[in-house]
Structure 1
Amino acid sequence: MASLQKQRGVALITVLMVFAIATLVAGKVIVGKSIDVRRVNGMINRTQAHYYALAAESLAILALREDDQKDIDDKKQGGQQLPDHLEEPWAMPNIEFEIDNIGKVNVQIVDLNRFYNLNNLRQADGLVNEQELERFRNLLVELRLDNELADNLADWLDADDKELGYLSESDAYLNRSPAYRAANKPMQDISELRLVNGFEPEILAVLLPHITVVNTSGVLALNLNTATTYALATLQEKTSNPFGEGLSLSAAQNIVSERPYDDNKDFDNRSGSRELHTSSKRSGTGNNANAEYGSLAHYTLSSAVFEINIRAHYAGHTAYLTTVVQQQGSGNAAKYVVLSRKETDNSWRLAQFAAAAS
């Protein structure tokens, strides 16, 4: 009898152990499945946020097209074809849209024709554009930075290994740790400037709000209606010398205070135009100025290159998108072509843009 009770006790313990093990295994499976479900849901929500960002990009391009169409309609009705300026709807800062009560999308469009394009320094043949080099020197001078930094940047961009600046070609960079070579080609991103000798963080903090990198052919025209005060200082002052100094800061501020300008005639009638050199080349649109190399000043009253900055929040997940588009063609045949698209948080640049505009 005692033996039977002992066997029953062992059997009960065995059953309890099996049940406990089964419970642990089942619990582990359930937890694993729960984690998998959360992971899948997270992937779905991240993907959804990304597609909302892409949709916002399409909406921003549509807004630019509608602005173009409005200009065309105004011209057909006998009005002036309005240029691009900071009071237009597309230029509103941080436009926000709600998504199904569980998310939102923030969009900000910035025209890049308001900044000096560093790739202006390189000609199509790989040589340094001497007039654009002088323009960049003028910008550095107005910002109270060393204007010899322009030579270091020129070495980074030009096709040869002849040193124009100081320790600014591949031989010098190969002695660094880690070693690297000068690009000797147009810049692809503004962050590349950190690799160029002399462009230390404190220098970049002053310079970045007034420059951009757009990889297009020719010289990117500067929009007088949107350009930062210091970017305007790259334009040539009125002088008979083709390599004259850039606009003074007071002259640039005068141009800013009188805008927006409706058209070239309107600008010519304002006092700010009297500061610019008579050989300044106008571009009909914000696209590349098609003048021969040799003009020290390229300006326009419209923009053609825009940066669309997007932040999409959806169900606790965030997607970032920074897209650069360029208007190609004119009138009803105009279209916007994507030059670059990056899934990066560009809020630090937006803060710089805001600081430069204030």
Structure 2
Amino acid sequence: MMSYPLRQTPKYARIKSQRGVALISVLLAVALCVILASEMLMQQSLQVKRVQNLFERQQAFWYANGSEQFVKTLIKKIIDDDAGVIHLDQSWAMTGMSFPVPDGLIEGQISDLQSCFNINSLYNSQWDQKRREEHKQAFVRLLDKLDIVKDNSSEDLANNVYDWLDPDEYPVGAVGYDGDMYTSMPFPYMAANSPFAHENELRLVYGFDAAVMAQLDDTLCAIPDYSDFVINVNTIDAENPVILAAVLDIDNSTAENIISQRPKDGFKDIKEFWDLNEVKSLKNLAQIDKTQFTVKSKFFKLVTNAYYNDMRFDLTSVMQLNEQNEIQVIARRFGGKVERKADPETEQSDN
């Protein structure tokens, strides 16, 4: 007797097909759940890391803030102990200061802002025009002695800084830059016509390209909202006598010789400085504005690098001895110094 294979009924085929679709649906659902779970875990991990970074950054900030408070106390004690006289043999002037703290380190460097040329002093509204011009010429001499002039004369550069500071829109000199001169540049901007908050702002002034700024780095400073010029002869760097040479209108070697006569613990008063034979013998002594020289300082800068675990926080603080004989912070700058390679094409278009 012959046998024949049974044929699947249409109902049985449909059931088998539905089971395959159901299996695929379950696998897709499981895969989707795995993806969602992985994404949630990743987001959670990122949130935890973000919170950790914020915590570590905040801790590093408080370390930097603690350094600021410590330096305020230190400077105040030095001023009180030494009758206000500031010199380079005091503890504030130590280099490479670092202090270990729990899970971190604090590095700090203090500098006297009255041992550099305050660029805000190039325009002082309280001075008459004669005194402004005399002081501007001191800045011209400083630029000449540093031998940094490239495409512009020292006189032009000084005029450009003066124009940036003075409140009007009229350029000084035949080729001065002010007002419309900046707005007509390929990348236009306005002149501030107000004091510099930081010496890096000088980069915006026409003629002060990256190369010029690099050479001026240890010579210029900007004391916020302070347009006077009083230099501390006790804190001028012996290796950088060009500031003293420019202000006294003498050559660098004479300035070096004067600084070499400075006692290790500085001049006790400014009269000791003027009594030096090297100073008394200056031919232009009668023309020198003696009010520009002192042995005391009331402006200081603290650069702090605070580390906590893998986090670093940089803080620059400008401090002032106020009229109440207290040290107060008058400016803060967060973040470190930004270095930028000079781009010849950019420099040319800017200047």
Which TM-score band applies after superposition, normalised by the shorter structure?
0.7 to 0.9
In structure 1, the partner of 2:139 is 136
In structure 1, the partner of 2:306 is 312
Task: Report whether the alignment pairs 1:159 with 2:167.
Answer: yes
SS in 1 for 2:163: helix
Q: CA deviation at 1:225?
A: 1.1
1: CA distance between counterparts of 2:224 and 2:194?
10
Cα deviations by residue, 1:265-295 (Å, 9 ceiling, x for unpaired): 4324433432372454555xxxxxxxxxxxx
Number of aligned positions between the proteins: 311
In structure 2, the partner of 1:233 is 245
- 8 Å CA contact retained: 2:319, 2:331: yes
In structure 2, the partner of 1:261 is 267
2: CA distance between counterparts of 1:195 and 1:345?
19
The residue identity in structure 2 corresponding to 1:256 is I
SS in 2 for 1:303: coil
In structure 2, the partner of 1:98 is 100
- 8 Å CA contact retained: 1:312, 1:319: yes
- 15 and 176 in structure 1: CA distance in 2 versus 1, 3 angstrom threshold: closer
2: CA distance between counterparts of 1:247 and 1:138?
10
Q: CA deviation at 1:341?
A: 0.5
Task: Report whether the alignment pairs 1:68 with 2:75.
Answer: no
Comparing 14-23 with 111-120, which one deviates more in the overlay?
14-23
Q: CA deviation at 1:18?
A: 5.0
1: CA distance between counterparts of 2:301 and 2:244?
20
Find the partner of 2:196 among 166, 169, 187.
187
Task: Report whether the alignment pairs 1:212 with 2:221.
Answer: yes
Q: State the TM-score, normalizing by the size of structure 1.
A: 0.78
Q: CA deviation at 1:220?
A: 2.5
In structure 1, the partner of 2:346 is none
Cα deviations by residue, 1:20-54 (Å, 9 ceiling, x for unpaired): 54444333322221221111111111111111111
The residue identity in structure 2 corresponding to 1:202 is A
Task: Report whether the alignment pairs 1:42 with 2:53.
Answer: yes
1: CA distance between counterparts of 2:31 and 2:133?
82
Comparing 25-34 with 105-114, which one deviates more in the overlay?
25-34
Instruction: Give 1:50-129 correspondences, 5 Å limit.
Output: 50-71=61-82, 81=83, 83-100=85-102, 102-124=103-125, 129=132
Stretches of structure 2 lacking an aligned partner (at least 5 in a row):
1-11, 340-351
2: CA distance between counterparts of 1:264 and 1:121?
24
In structure 1, the partner of 2:154 is 147
In structure 2, the partner of 1:322 is 316
SS in 1 for 2:247: coil
The residue identity in structure 2 corresponding to 1:91 is A
Q: CA deviation at 1:132?
A: 1.2
Q: CA deviation at 1:161?
A: 2.6
Q: CA deviation at 1:249?
A: 1.0
Q: CA deviation at 1:139?
A: 1.1
Q: CA deviation at 1:14?
A: 6.7
Q: CA deviation at 1:154?
A: 1.4
Comparing 314-323 with 267-276, which one deviates more in the overlay?
267-276
SS in 1 for 2:110: strand
Q: CA deviation at 1:175?
A: 1.4
Comparing 118-127 with 195-204, which one deviates more in the overlay?
118-127
Stretches of structure 1 lacking an aligned partner (at least 5 in a row):
72-80, 237-245, 284-297, 349-358
Larger Rg: 2
2: CA distance between counterparts of 1:16 and 1:251?
88
Q: CA deviation at 1:156?
A: 1.6
More relative contact order in 1 or in 2 (CA 8 Å, sep 6+)? 2
Q: State the TM-score, normalizing by the size of structure 2.
A: 0.79
- 8 Å CA contact retained: 2:305, 2:313: yes
The residue identity in structure 2 corresponding to 1:311 is N
- 8 Å CA contact retained: 2:163, 2:176: no
- 8 Å CA contact retained: 1:48, 1:314: yes
Q: Percent identity?
A: 30
Instruction: Give 1:10-29 correspondences, 5 Å limit.
Output: 19-29=30-40
Comparing 128-137 with 298-307, which one deviates more in the overlay?
128-137
